[in-house]
Amino acid sequence: MVELVEAVKTYKLGKTEVRALRGVSLSVKEGEFVAIMGPSGSGKSTLLHVIGCLDRPDQGRVYLNGQEVSGLSEDRLAEFRGKFVGFVFQTFNLVPTLSALENVELPMTFQGVPRKRRLALARELLVQVGLGERLRHRPAELSGGERQRVAIARALVNDPKLILADEPTGNLDSVSGAQVMELLKGLNEEQDKTLIVVTHDPEIASYAGRTVHIRDGRIQEVAEVQT
């Protein structure tokens, strides 16, 4: 499902170069649940962004579902990303002026889905994540856990094979965080979604089947999670 080969990524901050990834190679099988762990500045979010086609490696290759994506044009990359990858972020990234239903249907407008179909699917997904009674509520009227569930529903609208979550429980209390992780784990187990979660929390990583530890832009260890 995912394969990185010697991926290198360097950012320039003024005159300073920050080597975020230093030749990372990683394989993730279809249907696998992987946690990427590391301290702040280790390169774990950059790694997720490279996997999700939000950023290109300066060197190396990225394959998703058997296709090399690191060399695609911007238009083709955006099209591939929109259909293949679903993103969940720590800060939810919801549009504050839109309802939960409107936030979830929004990505489908860019895929040319008819409005009637968009609304029906958005409603179905919100019911699936337990928000059937909150369809018309705006983000400010929802709890943090509810906002993250809206974000997860939005990530699912184009039926992606790969879901990438960057610190998805970082802004949540422990109870809401556990609910979100159970939801994500259910998507992995029941719908066979390939799931990669970035976290610094061992408790969150324990939901995964395998953990990848990264430090200073290099993978230090890959370990099976003991259940």
For the chain, the domains span 2-224
Q: What is the pLDDT of residues 109-129, one digit of tens each?
A: 877 889 999 999 999 999 999
Q: What is the pLDDT of residues 82-96, one digit of tens each?
A: 889 999 998 899 999
The predicted pLDDT at position 80 comes to 86
Cα maximum dimension of the chain:
52
* Statement: residue 227 has pLDDT above 70: no
The C-alpha atoms of residue 11 and residue 104 are separated, in whole angstroms, by 33
Q: What is the pLDDT of residues 15-59, one digit of tens each?
A: 888 899 999 999 999 999 999 999 988 999 999 999 999 999 999
Tokens 């699917």 appear where? 121
- For the entire predicted model, the pTM comes to 0.93
Residue 32 CB contacts under 8 Å (≥ 6 apart), including other chains: 1, 194, 195, 209, 210
For the chain, the first-to-last Cα distance in angstroms comes to 24
Tokens 């919100």 appear where? 126
2-224: in CATH 3.40.50.300: yes
